[in-house]
Amino acid sequence: MSYANHAEKEFDIVVFGASGYTGRLVAEYLDKNYTGSLNWAMAGRNEEKLKAVREEIGANEATPILLADAADMGAIEDLCKKSKVILTTVGPYQLYGNELVAACAKTGADYVDLCGEPAWMRQMIDAHGATAKSSGARIVFSCGFDSIPFDLGVQFLQDAAQDKFNERANEIHCIVRKMKGTFSGGTAASLKATMAAAFKDPSVIELLKNPFALAPGFDGPRQPSGSKPKYDEELGIWLAPFVMAPINTKNVHRSNALLGHSYGEDFKYSEMVATGPGVAGEKTAQAVASDNSLMGEDAPKPGEGPTKEEREGGHYDVLFIGETASGKTISASVTGDMDPGYGSTSKMIAEAAACLIDNCDAIGGGIWTPAAAMNGALRERLVKNAGLTFEIE
């Protein structure tokens, strides 16, 4: 742990938002897996709620509690000065994340979040990317189900294609084959906040439509459309639009840019979800395509979530099919052993924070993606500790 910005910090990881639903799961995971090896703390604005969570998860009474409001720049900066990594679950980030990103960039503290808000992420890249680079802060957005399995899955397949064919895949199609679990209240709130921002500012709509919005200065090839149901002849199944494709695809293209376009400047990437064969598969695909329940009144609310049994009964299985310029194909899968939005996500972000501390000395400051900053080191941690698999099929 020789990374310069980590010298003489009081805490390794501070979980900001530890009294929220996902924050509590992260705190529980850290307590169970890292108490003794990492010095971590719980932070938020309500001391009583934080103490209640500490007791609820069975954490040691000595587990530190730090108080800070997301809008209080002084308190947030103080938090950053004490911490190697700020792990924040306080979203929507466009409402509650501005001060924290600014403070991390200024003070050199590392940062991980669960952000799926591409227009805000681009604003942060433009506003704080240069500051983070000079201060040494490694800021890594999207360290949950969006977008770790997809970002690292693409990188895993590219590495395998290079090893097997000595070629990269210049096109990758991603298909979510199975997924059991609910989207988080945070995802729904983020989507609503993004739509509200787009309604106020038309430039937000342009960013949302641009697959390269998170790779400023680069304009790549026209990307395959995943916005309408379609039948996949080779697999014999119907595919529907995948609700998280608009964020995942942008993160994958940002990783490619940060990695010096190692996937190629002509790289194409798409994501869809499998709905099955025949008439039933087509009907399901049409229903998925017209579903806007995440925007409705019945959408999960921030702070709400599934039971422990529901989390543990969840899972996901994602297929990546790559094709090289010479026509060779290669496939890989990424699976997770819990529901994607909460159970698996809370383990992924905790491992990302620990990875920055333990495995990323060579990575300098800046605004990163999980694949570009942590690549194989994070993949190994996720397989060993967090119930994910990465396999060539």
H/E stretch holding 336 reads strand 329-336
Q: Which of 52-56, 182-186, 217-221 has the lowest mean pLDDT?
A: 182-186
pLDDT digits (tens, 9 = 90+) for 300-331: 777 778 889 999 999 999 999 999 999 999 99
Q: What is the pLDDT of residues 285-305, one digit of tens each?
A: 999 998 877 767 777 777 778
Percentage of the chain beyond pLDDT 70 is: 98
Is the Cβ–Cβ distance between 106 and 127 less than 8 Å? Answer: no
Predicted confidence at residue 367, as pLDDT, reads 98
Q: Scanning the structure block, which residue is given the tokens 């304009």?
A: 219
Q: Evaluate whether 60 touches 39 at the Cβ level (below 8 Å).
A: no
Of residues 189 and 63, more confidently modeled: 63
| CB contact set of 297 (below 8 Å; sequence gap of 6+) | none
Q: What is the pLDDT of residues 61-89, one digit of tens each?
A: 999 999 999 999 999 999 999 999 999 99
Q: Going by DSSP bridges, is the β-strand pair 268-276/169-180 parallel, antiparallel, or unpaired?
A: parallel
User: What pLDDT digit, counting tens, does each position of 252-282 carry?
Assistant: 999 999 999 999 999 999 999 999 999 999 9
Q: Are strands 110-112 and 138-140 parallel, antiparallel or unpaired?
A: parallel
Amino acid at 242: F
Candidates 260, 239, 257; CA nearest to 249 is 257
Quick one: pLDDT at residue 325?
96
Q: What percent of the chain has pLDDT over 90?
A: 84
Higher-confidence residue of 338 and 205: namely 338
CA trace torsion 322, 325, 329, 335 (10° rounding): -10
347/35: higher pLDDT: 347
d(CA 111, CA 117): 16
CB 357 within 8 A of CB 6: yes
The one-character DSSP state at 342 is I
Is 4 a residue whose pLDDT tops 70? no
**What is the Cα–Cα distance from 357 to 38, expressed in whole angstroms?**
9
Query: Residue 222, class by beta-carbon neighbours within 10 Å (0-12 exposed, 13-18 middle, 19+ buried)?
Result: exposed
**Residue 245 · residue 271 · CB < 8 Å:** yes
Angle between helices 148-165 and 245-258 (to 10 degrees): 50
Query: Rg of the chain over CA atoms, in angstroms?
Result: 20
d(CA 58, CA 328): 52
C-alpha dihedral, 217 to 272 to 139 to 371, nearest 10°:
-90
Would you say residue 2 has pLDDT above 50? no
Task: Give the number of C-alpha atoms closer than 13 A to the C-alpha of residue 356, restricted to the C-beta side.
Answer: 35
pLDDT at residue 293, as a whole number: 73
Higher-scoring residue by pLDDT: 226, 42:
42
d(CA 162, CA 168): 5
Q: What's the pLDDT tens digit per position in 196-218?
A: 888 888 888 888 889 999 999 99
CATH 3.40.50.720 in the chain: give the residue spans: 4-145+344-388
First-last CA distance in the chain: 36
Global model pTM greater than 0.85:
yes
If you search the block for the tokens 């103490």, which residue do you land on? 51
Average pLDDT for the chain: 94
In the Cβ-directed half-sphere of 213, how many Cα atoms lie within 13 Å? 22
What CATH architecture is 4-145+344-388?
3-Layer(aba) Sandwich (3.40)
d(C-alpha 306, C-alpha 289), whole Å:
24
